[in-house]
Every structure is written in structure tokens, then in C-alpha cells.
Structure 1
Amino acid sequence: MKTNQENSKLLNTKMVRVQKFGLNIRYAELGNSNKPTILLLHGVPENLHAWYDIAPALSKNYHVLAIDWPGFGGSDAFTDLQDHNPRTFAAIGMDFLETLQIEFAHIMATDIGFTPALIMGVENPEQIGQMVVMDGIPFPTTAYSSWELRSFGRKNSITAKALIKWFPKISAKIAYYKGFYKGNNIPKEIQEEFLADGYKKTTQNAFLSYFQNNAPGQAYLESRIQEIQQPVLVVWGSHDRFINVKLGSLLTERLPNAHFEIVEDSGHFVHMDKPEALLKITTEFLKLHPIPGI
């Protein structure tokens, strides 16, 4: 008979103090460290436990690392709120890998992890391999965004403050109602973990600051998008009600070496909504599009 701990979907976590930034970063590590590494980068309103189905499955063939972004989950926040932005998050991702002495890694990223992942790829082509990116906004545009996301990006938005700071439980309900194709299927313990984060001032500040400092990093990525030579798998939920699937198609056209997959009957949270479908296309992509010389 399995114990409650054995039945838990929560990932085992530990802490590391990254060398360059000096922040304590919470992370999960699964699989054999002698196998290829894949780094998982979460979105909002989430933390590293969002990979509760994906990380264990990938660990059969990969060394899997998942981190909490600064200010989220168990990771330290930046003292300067303006550092919660795509370029600094990309630098944190590299600092984390280098601190753990990981010389080469693939990346899977969703939502706010989308832009930092691609920046890591363009700035570190010798250290970053194939990338799987899902349901994010890599360019400075609001044309494909829901009203919630547009409000997050506006300075001094009362709506954004209400959703993030004043009514986090309501915000979470909106996110999960709209983020899944047919009903929220997040395990209770994972949802409780996310909601507890939503009540933390550090998470609230990091969440809002990231969106309000998002545009410069998006513009930077857009200016260098043609330099990304690594194979990129762009994945979108067919029923993403936060970011229109047309943006995924546009990004794929702009990338030199990209493949676009739409996951049917999935909402914004593809990794939690349709993990089996995501795992299938990801493993096929990683096998069929290897990095030359790797």
C-alpha cells in the first residue's frame, strides 16, 4: 500500500545559491545526471510543480531540472522589482545551469518562460540545444492577448492589481477556468501550492513586475529572432483563451528552424491539460531534430 507521500504529485525540491546573482533558487532534479539535461521553465500562476506529470515522464530518458523563477515558489525575489523581466530571467536560467556545472541543456518553457528560453538560446548557442516553447508572447504586441494579459502590462492598472494583489483566489479561478479545455484537472495538492504562492507578496510583486517590464525583453528577442539556429518546437493549445494560437504560427514563420504543433482539445496550460500529447510530440521532436555533433 502506497503512503500519502508516495502518492503525492508534488516534486521533491532543493535549493541552490546561484553564483552570479547570489539568489537562492528552488529547483527539482529528476533522472540520471549522465543523460542529456532538459530544463523546465514554468509560467503563471504556477511554480515548478506545474511539471508534476511532465518531469517524471521525461526523467526516464533525460536529466530533468525544473526551477522556480525569482519571486515565485521557493526562490528568492530580486530586490529591484525591475529585474523581474525576460532578459534577467534568461540570465538567471544560465546562472543556474552554470552553478550546477551543466554544460549543455535543452529547454521546455511555457507562458512567461517562453521569452527567457528563446533569449537563452540566442545568447548561448553553444550551451542551449533544442527548445520546446508553449503558449507565450515573445514579441511586444497585445494583439493576440486576452483582456487579463493586456491589463497586467499596463502601468498602475487597477484591474491588474485587483487580479494579482487583492483577489488572488478569484484570479486563480479565472486562470484555471479559462486555461483548460474542459475543466480544471490540476491535482488538489498542486492547486493548493499555487494558491499559497498567490497570497505571497513576493510572488504578487514578481508577477506584476514581470508583465510591466516585459516589453523591452520582447523587443530585444524580436530583433534577434533570426539568429536562433537551434531546432525549436512551438506548441499551442487549440483552445488557448489567453493567447491566440495565431501568434504561435507567426513565431514559427519568424524562426529559422522551427516546427509548429497544435495540441487539440487543449487550453493554455498544455503541460497540465494534455501532458500525454505534449510528451509524445516532444520526445519525437527531440529524436528527429538533433543538434549536429551532439
Structure 2
Amino acid sequence: MVHFLPSLLLVLTRAVLRLSRLCSWLLVYAGSFLALCFYSPTFLRVVAQGPGKAFRWRVRERPPDCLTDASFGQHCYVRTKNSGMRFHYVSAGEKGRPLMLMLHGFPEIWFSWRHQLVAFRDGYHVVAPDLRGYGGSDAPSGWESYKLETLLEDIHDLIEMLGYRQCVLVGHDWGGTLAWTFSVQHPEMVERLIVMNGPHLAGLQDYILSHPSQLLRSGYVFLFQLPLLPELLLSLADFKMLRDAMTSEEVGIQNPQHRLTDEELEAFLYSFSQPKAITGPLNYYRNLFSFLPVKCQDVLMPTLLIWGGKDVFLELGMAQLMRQYVQSRFRLEILPEASHWVQQDRPERVNQLMKAFLSEE
């Protein structure tokens, strides 16, 4: 009997794991169904305004002039050694100066860092890439190509291929979450960390467990788990949801001085209007639940967290929670009137805070 115990335990363990995965899958897709019900009135309103208009979107054939404006920096490409992926990035400032690597969020591209590329090029070699699946970078189609370890490997390879061993790492939204996680796993490669409206994964997990209201704000995450349908919904009425996310009075950029011009909005739509260009970014979300549960791991380098107080996607209370995950100097700066798109909404203030943080010993 004793000889059968190890085999029996192994079988039971595998059964429990399979049952756990099944339960997780059922919960996620139950959430997806509820999210679809929640967002359905919005989609129906779009269709009701005219089916012909709703199901019509266009591919932008040429980029707007602001995307090729040389004042923001030089457009470059690099192929990473491990994945063989080709990444597009915009570079400002002389190579050889300290590297400042900037990671954008969704639905953005390198262009969301245009104000920072100009502001920091005198002291740094500033690099703003299009992340995997975005803009001019390669975009594998399969969701398995967007696992967390793969995305972190991209950052590691980019730093090395640019000729550096260390950087000031800056991230917003999804780029901020990647920056938190990369700093935990590769502390030797991050001199200082600057995050904007992006949660540490352990912090997001812990906050949601004690604040279910955040789940309502994150309903789109469950919607994005569905296959194909989110791509269609985001494309409706010539990408109305994407346009509203960055320009509407409720969730878009709040500062009248920095609201996106038609040309700047087209800079984002140019990228997302290309064939199958939305699938790669959505695959980040489709892998999100595979990251959980997250072990509590601490950040060891000086960290600046900048948070737009009018973020409708992430509750402000989450920002306060991030302090406990940093075992070094931590500074939290809340900009009460700024939206989720904080570095575009209040670029002068954001740049000022970054410079003050970077100048400290």
C-alpha cells in the first residue's frame, strides 16, 4: 500500500490542478459574459445610429506628419537576439548618455512619449519603442506570444541590443506594469524606476481582493478575453471606442491645452487601423489571468509613481498601496486634475517631477 501512495498523491495533485484551472476558466468567462452584457447597450447605440456607418472603418494609408516629425527623434529598428523580433523605436539624444527607456500602454504607441522625448534628450539617450504587437514592431498573431515572461525578455533584449547594461525605466499603463515586474526580476538593469498610472501586479491583485469596485472599472479586461468579438467592437464606427478613450470628456485627456488634435489622434489610429493590428495588443489582456496569483516581490531601486487623479480605469486608492512594494526611496505624486493619460495630459508637470526625482542623490 505504501508503494502506491506517491502515485496516488500525484494523481490527486494533477486532478486538483485541472479542477482549479477549470474553475478559473469558468470564472473568467462568466466575467466576460457579464462584461458583454454591460457594454452591449453602448454597442447597440453605435449600431442604431446607422449600421452602414457602424460597420465601416478605414485603413489609414499613410502616417500623419506628426508621426514622422524629426523634432521628436530618429526612427530606428532593432532585431532582438533571443526572439528574432524586429522592434521599431524612436530615439532622441546622443547615444552614450544614460539610457532612458519608455514603455507605452494600451491603446498607445511610442508617440505617447513625444513630450518626454523632447524634454530629456539633452541629458539622456531616450528611447521609446513600439512594444511587441504595436505600431511598427513585429506582431505575432498567437496569444501565447504575449506571455509575461516573453514581454519581459523583450525589454531585457532591447536594453542589451541598444548597447547598455542599465537604464532609467519609465512606463505607463501596461508599460508601467511591465516596468514594475521587470524591475523586480532584473534589478541590476534598472537604475531608477518611474511609473505612471500602472499597477504593480501584486498590488493590483491585493487591491482588487479588498476593493471589488475596481472590478467594475476593469470590466473591459473581461470583455477582451473573448475571441474575435473585441476586435470587431473596437473597430465599430471607425474605431469610436479608441477615439473616445483618449478624447471624450469622461475618460480622455482633461487638460484643454493638451487635448489631442485631429492629427495627433490620427497618429494612434494610423497604427490601430492596419489589418489585424488590434489583436496583438488585446493578447496582453488575454494572458493577464495566467499571471495570477502573483507572489509579493519587492522593488529595490528608487521609485517615482505619478498618478492622474481622474483616472476612470484605476482607482486612486491603488496608488497608495504601491508604497509597500518598494524597499527603497519611494515618491508618490498625485496630479488631481490629470486623466489616465497623465504624461500627455500634464506633460510639463510630469517632466518637472521626473527631473526633480532624477536629480536627487
**Offset at 1:71?**
1.0
CA deviations on 1:174-221 (whole Å, 9 max, x unpaired) are: 21121322456124333112012222344311121111212333644x
Q: Which amino acid aligns with 1:18?
A: T
Correspondent of 2:354 among 273, 276, 282: 282
Task: Provide TM-score, normalisation by structure 1.
Answer: 0.86
**Offset at 1:79?**
4.4
Q: Distance in 1 between matches of 2:213 and 2:314?
A: 5
Q: Following superposition of structure 1 onto structure 2, how do residues 131-150 of structure 1 map, counting pairs within 5 Å?
A: 131-139=193-201, 141=205, 143=212, 145=214, 147=216, 149-150=218-219
Q: Distance in 1 between matches of 2:110 and 2:190?
A: 20
- Alignment check: 8 A CA contact 2:141 2:280 kept: no
Residue number in structure 2 paired with 1:205: 279
Residue number in structure 2 paired with 1:254: 325
Tell me the secondary structure at the aligned position of residue 203 of structure 1. Answer: coil
Q: Distance in 1 between matches of 2:136 and 2:270?
A: 11
Correspondent of 1:171 among 234, 241, 258: 241
Normalized per residue, which structure has more helix? Answer: 2
Q: Distance in 2 between matches of 1:179 and 1:192?
A: 15
Residue number in structure 1 paired with 2:307: 236
Residue number in structure 1 paired with 2:341: 269
Residue number in structure 2 paired with 1:29: 91
Q: Which amino acid aligns with 1:152?
A: V
CA deviations on 1:110-153 (whole Å, 9 max, x unpaired) are: 00111211122111111111111111233354546475742233
Task: Confirm whether residue 60 of structure 1 aligns to residue 134 of structure 2.
Answer: no
Task: Confirm whether residue 196 of structure 1 aligns to residue 296 of structure 2.
Answer: no
How many residues align structurally?
283
Across the aligned residues of Structure 1 and Structure 2, the Cα RMSD in angstroms comes to 2.5
Question: Does the C-alpha gap of structure 1 residues 201 and 102 become closer, same or farther in structure 2, counting only changes over 3 Å?
Answer: same
Correspondent of 2:139 among 77, 89, 106: 77
Q: Distance in 1 between matches of 2:213 and 2:125?
A: 34
**Offset at 1:287?**
1.5
- Alignment check: 8 A CA contact 1:138 1:218 kept: no
**Offset at 1:33?**
1.7
Q: Distance in 2 between matches of 1:9 and 1:159?
A: 39
**Offset at 1:283?**
0.8
Which structure is larger by alpha-carbon Rg, 1 or 2? 2
In structure 1, stretches of 5+ residues that fail to align are none
Question: Does the C-alpha gap of structure 1 residues 87 and 121 become closer, same or farther in structure 2, counting only changes over 3 Å?
Answer: same
Q: Distance in 1 between matches of 2:292 and 2:349?
A: 28
Task: Provide TM-score, normalisation by structure 2.
Answer: 0.71
Q: Distance in 2 between matches of 1:203 and 1:149?
A: 22
Q: Distance in 1 between matches of 2:322 and 2:213?
A: 12
Q: Distance in 1 between matches of 2:98 and 2:145?
A: 30
In structure 2, stretches of 5+ residues that fail to align are 1-64
Tell me the secondary structure at the aligned position of residue 52 of structure 1. Answer: helix
